[in-house]
Amino acid sequence: MDFASMNLESLVIGAPALMFILITVLAMILGAQFSKAFQAGLKLGIGLVGVGLVINGLANTFGPALMDFMGQVGLDLSIIDVGWAPIAAITWSSVYTLFFILVLVVENLIMIYWDKTRTLDVDIFNFWHLAIIGLLVMYYSNNIILATLLVIFLGALKLINSDLMKPTFNDLLGTPDSNPTTTTHINFLLNPFILLVDKIIDLVFPKLDQYDFDAATLNDKVGFWGSKFAIGSYLGLFVGILGQQPLSVIFLLVFVGAASLELFSVVGSWLTSSTEPFSQGVTNLMYKRLGGKQVLIGIDWPFLSSRSEMWAVANILAPLLFIIALVLPGNHILPMAGIIVIGVTPALLVVCRGKLLRMIVIGTLTIPLFLWSGTAISPFLTESAQSIGAISPSFAYGIGISHSSLEGPVEKFLAILLGQAGNGFNLGPILIALAAFAVYSLLFYWYVRQMRKRNADYEANQVQAEE
């Protein structure tokens, strides 16, 4: 039961060494050369250790100032936003992540074979987004069956959604139908909620699009001032001044905040590259089992990054995220590494099709979802980080860790509800979980129908253009 809760202290070698061995061996089994497999395992082990070093350094520096800051303003923002890289490292430290990857690969092949999807998901590293949802269920219930069922359910929705979005990708990027690129990233599971709000805007503010402005011009004006280390500097300055720290401490907070945000990106790149031989081996295995079927290729979302609207909205939402975090009831996260709200902007781009004002309005309305979700999963993340030795058991000043804009906020709540429902037979949590899944499923079904109508319009316009 401890092992299922990610308590890997029972393994004397520790999580970094364990994952180093597992990734090295598995990559070799899947056909990677020993040198590349060894390098991948080593990078993953180093990445896990690096995450702990950066988190501890950030917490030890910001901890006292945060306590003083919260005392001055009367807020409880005791959860540090460490961004996606440490969360991914914590997730990859569990061997259950490898189990969930196996489940998702098999599911993908079955769905392609039965013509339930056209997408082959080769974005293996980002399977951790679904793995963490499975681990959340296990954290609350120690029930791997429920966890696996939820991972399978969401995995199917991701693949269905990637097929539905393909015509929109072609329209946004000007790519032909023959281009196989799509994405299965979990942030696009927020599309149904975004589309629902988008339809409401059509009814309440039908002329909103008349006031749109140019995204590229805004991005050029923001420039350096919206970079990661600039934002880290602002936050250090803000906490230092409001916490009434000495000038020397304020400067230290500025530099540590800036350095931490940049170092999290560096650690993230190590984690991503560390799984490449393993991911390539899984991808090759999947290709061999397809029987010659022509498929779409599901990759990470950054192929959309050429659209300037996404970055303009991210720059606008960043200060809004910080302001909302200060006043939102039930939030305990101080936004830092996740303050550039990239967990929602790709989905906003797809649903709103680049209409900037709609993206900003809907993005603002989704911010509370991310903050509440990040607050809710903090105990799991903090205890998991402690169990793998990434942070000390006592940690600094009682501070927790989380992410202020982690993708899949609604799915995190579903995992918590399912875990609570599976923790003994208690009718209340079971009914709440059933109701939540019913609403979630009905909303997705409505979204599928709306996207099929959109895709039919694309097809009709294409036929008309050819005639």
DSSP notation for 376-410: HHHHHHHHHHHHTTSS-SSTTTT-EEE-TT-S-HH
Q: What is the pLDDT of residue 13?
A: 56
Phi, psi of 354 (to 5 degrees): 85, 5
Contact (CB, 8 A) for 239 and 59:
no
d(CA 42, CA 37): 9
Per-residue pLDDT, averaged over 186-199, amounts to: 96
Is the per-residue pLDDT at 236 higher than 90?
no
Phi, psi of 121 (to 5 degrees): -85, 105
Is the per-residue pLDDT at 396 higher than 70?
no
Q: Residue 306: which pLDDT band, with cuts at 50, 70 and 90? A: confident
Q: What is the pLDDT of residue 272?
A: 65
Is the per-residue pLDDT at 34 higher than 50?
yes
Per-residue pLDDT, averaged over 215-242, amounts to: 68
Is the per-residue pLDDT at 148 higher than 50?
yes
Q: Is 181 helix (H, G, I), strand (E, B) or coil?
A: strand
Is the per-residue pLDDT at 461 higher than 80?
yes
Q: Residue 6: which pLDDT band, with cuts at 50, 70 and 90? A: very low
Name the least confident of 117-121, 153-157, 266-270, 280-284: 266-270
pLDDT digits (tens, 9 = 90+) for 340-386: 787 899 999 999 998 888 999 999 999 999 999 999 999 999 988 88
Q: What is the pLDDT of residue 68?
A: 72
Q: Is 228 helix (H, G, I), strand (E, B) or coil?
A: helix
DSSP notation for 13-37: THHHHHHHHHHHHHHHHTT--HHHH
pLDDT digits (tens, 9 = 90+) for 35-71: 888 888 888 788 767 766 776 676 677 767 766 766 6
d(CA 151, CA 449): 23
> Which pTM was predicted?
0.83
Q: What is the pLDDT of residue 12?
A: 45
Q: What is the pLDDT of residue 444?
A: 98
Q: Residue 4: which pLDDT band, with cuts at 50, 70 and 90? A: very low
Q: What is the pLDDT of residue 97?
A: 92
> What mean pLDDT is reported for the chain?
83
d(CA 280, CA 122): 8
Is the per-residue pLDDT at 204 higher than 70?
yes
pLDDT above 90 coverage of the chain, percent: 39
Is the per-residue pLDDT at 16 higher than 60?
yes
Q: What is the pLDDT of residue 265?
A: 67
Please give the single-letter amino acid code of residue 437.
Answer: F
Highest mean pLDDT among 16-25, 389-398, 430-439: 430-439
CA distances, 301 to each of 92, 123, 298 (Å): 20, 10, 9
Residue among 418, 296, 380, 320 nearest 4 (CA)? 380
